[in-house]
Amino acid sequence: MPFIPHTPDDVEQMLGAIGAKKIDDLFDEIPKELRIESLSGIPDALNEMELGRLMSARAAQDGMPINFIGAGAYEHHIPSAVWAITTRGEFYSAYTPYQAEASQGTLQLIYEYQTMITSLTGMDVSNASLYDGGSAVAEASLMAIRTHRKSKAQRILVPTTLNPAYRKTAVATASGQGVRFEEVACPKGYLSVADLEKYKGEDITALVIQQPNFFGVLEDVDALTDFAQANGWIVIGSVNPTSLGILKPPGEWGTKGADIACGDCQPLGVPLSSGGPYAGFLTAKMDHVRQMPGRIVGRTVDLNGKQGFALTLQAREQHIRRGKATSNICTNQGLLVTAATIYLSLVGPEGLARVANECHARTNELVAALTKIKGVKLAFDKSRFHEAVLLLDRPVAPVIAELARRGIVGGLDLSTDYPELGNALLVCATETRSTADIKAYADALADTLKAASRAA
């Protein structure tokens, strides 16, 4: 019996202590007609060797293509130390730090994480994580509604330049509480003050700005932040943490800084892993701390006056406030925060700036190489960071399929979410893409487009 240590002797002794004859007797309070005999749909057990063969075959099946997609999940170099330490049993198999004295490792780590992520985003306070960048937009919006004492309408402006998966997640998560997410169309590929003029004087609670935006284009965050705050709107910045090695953080946008920052920690030491687990971050100005959902760690002292760490401000959370909690979140993404904290400690301020710099350089190199090809042009002529939208002279899906056959994951087809752009492809090159990788992509794409042209 895998993972169950009991010998028949053990079972006999234990039943004796209980006063039962067989294990089945222990279920005698359960109505007989509910008890199942067999789970015929479950296959026989595999031992670890057999299991290893199965999973290795499945993983090999998916190959190792060269990746050029970003769109909210980014491939970066992950130092070996990150997961060697994160998968230590003391981090991996520990529980939420409710018994603080037995969890000082996790608690101190979260305190260090809170310090790093608040500084990176230019804010004052952070929580211990949310599920991902999409739900973080929802939680930030709900937080803005709780904080904004005057606004009644619960209207959140979301530009179409915000990651569409984030928008959809925010709607699915928060509309049940009456939150209305209104899309602001951005046909030029970025949000401008002109796009917001029509909301002047209306009861809007908050504006979400993504930087860089979903297309990789850099938004004019200062003008947008000042305009929004002049109208009494709360400003939420959804940001990529790698980019903050080079870009101005939300806390420094405009004259007063954004009020709330959110995003995903995935670029910080967390592998792509087919989609998760990642970790959402949420930071804010100190004024808003009591409206912040999720766990928060504070430093305090023990009975002897020695420094220690504990969960604090728990009265906001579900296990105390129940129906009136700031959120129902309980388990969050602790292990990924561990990885992100170790990653940030290894890169430091200079390393992070270098990573950001190289991502930008590689994307510029990629764009230059691909736009040399006939039938490929750049969509938006504006400053960008680390991602770009290309326009092809033909539908994108078959091109992506052909590139995949050649071992290249070429980018994201935007035509489902942004049909108005035409044949649009979102591409990204991080510091992990070498010049040889980029040349391989360019050659494959040129070949693909030529072959299709010939066939046409």
Partner 1 sequence: MAMQKHPEKIIFEYSRPGRGSYAQWPTLKSESPDSAVGDIPVALRRKSKPLLPEVSELEVVRHFTKLSQLNFSIDTHFYPLGSCTMKYNPKACNQYAMLPGFLNRHPLAPEANGQGFLASMYELQEMLKEVTGMQGVALSPMAGAHGEFAGVAMIRAYHRARGDLARNEIIVPDAAHGTNPATATMCGCVVKEIPTKDDGDIDVEALKAVVGPNTAGIMLTNPSTCGVFERRIKEVAKIVHDAGGLLYYDGANLNAILGKVRPGDMGFDVIHMNLHKTFSTPHGGGGPGAGAVGVSARLLPFMPIPVVGKDGDKYRWLTEKDLPQSIGRLSAFMGNAGVLLRAYIYMRMLGREGMHRVGEFATLNANYLMARLAKAGFEPAYPGRRASHEFIITAKKQKDELGVSAMDFAKRLLDYGFHAPTTYFPLLVPECLLIEPTETESKEALDGFIDAMVAILKEAESQADLVKSAPHTMTVRRLDDVRAARQLDLTWKPAAA
Partner 2 sequence: MSNNIPADLKYTKSHEWVRTLANGNVEVGITDHAQGALGDLVFVDVPEAGKTLKVGDAFAVVESVKAASDVYAPIAGSVVEGNPALGSQPELINSEPYAGGWIARFKPDGAPQGLLSAAEYQAHLASEG
Residues that bind partner 2 (CB under 8 A): 149, 290, 314-316, 320-321, 324
Among 161, 173, 210, 448, binds partner 1 (CB under 8 A): 173
Among 8, 63, 201, 419, binds partner 1 (CB under 8 A): 63
Pairing status of strand 260-264 against strand 280-284: antiparallel
Per rule CB under 8 A, is residue 17 in the interface with partner 1? yes
Site residues for partner 1, 385-424, by CB under 8 A, read 385, 400-401, 404, 409, 412
Q: Is 423 helix (H, G, I), strand (E, B) or coil?
A: coil
**Tokens representing residue 295 in the block:** 């766990």
At which residue do the structure tokens 């200079």 appear? 350
Buried b (16+ CB within 10 A) or exposed e, 227-242: bbbeeebbbbbbbbbb
Q: What's the rounded Cα separation, in Å, for the pair 454 and 443?
A: 16
Site residues for partner 1, 18-57, by CB under 8 A, read 18-20, 23-24, 26-31, 34-36, 38-48, 51-52, 54-57
Is 71 or 199 the residue whose CB approaches partner 1 more closely? 71
Strand order of the sheet with strand 234-239?
Answer: 125-126, 280-284, 260-264, 234-239, 206-211, 155-159, 180-184
Among 158, 261, 310, 438, binds partner 1 (CB under 8 A): 310
Q: What's the rounded Cα separation, in Å, for the pair 69 and 412?
A: 6
Is 232 or 315 the residue whose CB approaches partner 1 more closely? 315
Residue 84, C-beta contacts closer than 8 angstroms, at least 6 positions apart = none
Q: How far is the CB of 311 from partner 2 (least distance, A)?
A: 10
- Give the Cβ contact number of residue 33 at 10 Å: 5
- Select the span of 146-154, 332-340, 372-380, 436-444 touching partner 1 (CB under 8 A): 332-340
Q: How far is the CB of 140 from partner 1 (least distance, A)?
A: 14
Binder of residue 105, out of partner 1, partner 2, none (CB less than 5 to 8 A by kind): partner 1
Q: φ and ψ at 392, to 5 degrees?
A: -100, 160
Residue 173, C-beta contacts closer than 8 angstroms, at least 6 positions apart = 135, 138, 139
Among 182, 202, 287, 302, binds partner 1 (CB under 8 A): 302
Binder of residue 257, out of partner 1, partner 2, none (CB less than 5 to 8 A by kind): none
Is 315 or 368 the residue whose CB approaches partner 2 more closely? 315
Q: What's the rounded Cα separation, in Å, for the pair 38 and 46?
A: 18
Per rule CB under 8 A, is residue 435 in the interface with partner 1? no
Among 216, 249, 257, 267, binds partner 1 (CB under 8 A): 249
Q: Is 207 helix (H, G, I), strand (E, B) or coil?
A: strand
Is 20 or 320 the residue whose CB approaches partner 2 more closely? 320
Among 197, 255, 274, 454, binds partner 1 (CB under 8 A): 274
Binder of residue 55, out of partner 1, partner 2, none (CB less than 5 to 8 A by kind): partner 1
Q: How far is the CB of 262 from partner 2 (least distance, A)?
A: 24
Per rule CB under 8 A, is residue 154 in the interface with partner 1? no
**CB 237 within 8 Å of CB 221:** yes
Binder of residue 316, out of partner 1, partner 2, none (CB less than 5 to 8 A by kind): partner 2
Binding mask 352-381 for partner 1 (x = CB under 8 A): xxxxxxx-xx--x-----------------
Binder of residue 69, out of partner 1, partner 2, none (CB less than 5 to 8 A by kind): partner 1
Q: How far is the CB of 201 from partner 1 (least distance, A)?
A: 28
The residue type found at 226 is D
Q: How far is the CB of 324 from partner 2 (least distance, A)?
A: 7
DSSP track, 141-161: HHHHHHH-SS--S-EEEEETT
Residue 34, C-beta contacts closer than 8 angstroms, at least 6 positions apart = none
Per rule CB under 8 A, is residue 161 in the interface with partner 1? no
Q: What's the rounded Cα separation, in Å, for the pair 172 and 141?
A: 13
Q: How far is the CB of 317 from partner 2 (least distance, A)?
A: 9
Among 83, 215, 233, 441, binds partner 1 (CB under 8 A): 83
Q: What's the rounded Cα separation, in Å, for the pair 446 and 193?
A: 39
Binder of residue 396, out of partner 1, partner 2, none (CB less than 5 to 8 A by kind): none
Q: How far is the CB of 198 from partner 1 (least distance, A)?
A: 26
Q: What is the DSSP letter of 44?
A: P
**CB 161 within 8 Å of CB 210:** yes
Is 199 or 385 the residue whose CB approaches partner 1 more closely? 385
DSSP track, 312-351: E-GGGSHHHHGGG-S----S--HHHHHHHHHHHHHHHHHH
Burial of 91 (0-12, 13-18, 19+ CB in 10 A): middle
Helix (H) or strand (E) holding 408: strand 408-409
Is 320 or 404 the residue whose CB approaches partner 2 more closely? 320
